[in-house]
């Protein structure tokens, strides 16, 4: 019963993260935080799945490595946009 609740929580986390990402927000920081929330829910899902099939957890370490690199890249893009444009609004800079 506890496993079903954990699976349900991870699925709900994933859908909430996707909902926040898809809805229109003004700030880049909120979008980056929603992406990190999605990565966290995928990490929980992989943890539950790999413990369920009694497999090694080395894949989780590789996944965490890539998620940390993704977070650092997102923060560096955020800092460079704030330095060039003065804020992190999507409306203040043109992507073309």
pLDDT given at position 96 = 45
Residue 1 has a pLDDT of 59
Predicted confidence pLDDT, tens digits, the chain (96 residues): 567 888 898 899 999 999 988 887 788 888 889 999 999 999 999 988 888 888 788 888 999 999 999 999 989 988 888 888 787 777 666 654
Domains of the chain: 2-85 (1.10.287.3510)
pTM for the structure as a whole: 0.83
- Closest of 63, 20, 24 to residue 43, by C-alpha: 63
**3-class DSSP state of 27:** strand
For residues 12 and 79, what is the distance between their CA atoms, to the nearest angstrom? 31
Q: According to the model, what pLDDT value does residue 66 have?
A: 94
């Amino acid at each position: 019963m506890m496993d079903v609740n954990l699976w349900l929580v991870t699925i709900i986390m994933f859908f909430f993260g996707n909902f926040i990402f898809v809805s229109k927000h003004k700030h880049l920081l909120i979008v980056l935080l929603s992406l990190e929330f999605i990565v966290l829910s995928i990490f929980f899902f992989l943890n539950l799945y790999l413990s369920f099939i009694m497999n090694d957890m080395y894949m989780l370490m590789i996944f965490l490595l890539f998620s940390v690199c993704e977070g650092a890249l997102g923060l560096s893009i955020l800092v460079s946009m704030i330095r060039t444009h003065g804020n992190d609004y999507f409306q203040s800079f043109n992507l073309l």
